[in-house]
Chain A
Amino acid sequence: NAGVMQNPRHLVRRRGQEARLRCSPMKGHSHVYWYRQLPEEGLKFMVYLQKENIIDESGMPKERFSAEFPKEGPSILRIQQVVRGDSAAYFCASSQDRGTEELFFGSGTQLSVL
């Protein structure tokens, strides 16, 4: 019973490079959510996607950040030209139905920007 799979677990990037974070939802789940966790700030919603559609990206920074959930393959959170402030844990979650149901979380990707 595979849960939500995220990779890589740890990602180190230098300032200015690109970071790509992957998330495969649980089997049968078609709703994906990305959250960012900073120390002592809890989880902040970034974006909510269904297959091939961005439903809500109200939590995404306006520049450098993008997300997709293609028809085939995992959801990707892409951060271009990373800066030190992007260092955080990024969690992906999935649900079977729309966001009123329980979310199942992956183990997260810890992004460190040098």
Chain B
Amino acid sequence: AQSVSQHNHHVILSEAASLELGCNYSYGGTVNLFWYVQYPGQHLQLLLKYFSGDPLVKGIKGFEAEFIKSKFSFNLRKPSVQWSDTAEYFCAVNAESGYSTLTFGKGTMLLVSP
């Protein structure tokens, strides 16, 4: 069974600070990786995804993530956060072969102070 671990439950940053949210997964085979964001009172939206190819993936709103297979990691980064990035961020994984439902991490709540 696959599992996802997000390192930080809460992160507080000032505007313009750099962001890195950790995500590690456990699964023996090939995986698809996702980062979703949930703004206050809204539904989950896809930030970015990795299926194959270049391990550095660029998403919306200036976010990027790097897949490091040897470390089973898929950390999310943004060079300079904005107040509007305040939200909860979820890392998710599913197995590439066969059908597989998304397994989510517990989420990281990011608070950006102006």
- A33: nearest chain-B partner, CB-CB: B101
Q: Is the CB of B90 within 8 A of A55?
A: no
- How far apart are A50's CB and chain B's nearest CB, in angstroms? 10
B87 beta carbon closer than 8 Å to chain A: no
CB within 8 Å of B: which residues of A? 4, 33, 35, 40-45, 48, 55-56, 91, 93, 98-100, 102-108
Size bracket, chain B contacts: 20 to 34
CB within 8 Å of A: which residues of B? 9, 32, 34, 36, 42-46, 49, 90, 94-96, 99-107
Subset of 5 A-B contacts with CB under 8 Å: A42-B90, A43-B44, A45-B101, A93-B44, A104-B46
- A41: nearest chain-B partner, CB-CB: B106
Partner of B9, one of A40, A55, A100, A103: A40
- How far apart are B29's CB and chain A's nearest CB, in angstroms? 12
User: Once bound together, how far apart are the Cα atoms of A56 and B102, in whole Å?
Assistant: 12
Instruction: Note all chain B residues with C-beta closer than 8 A to A45.
Output: 101-104
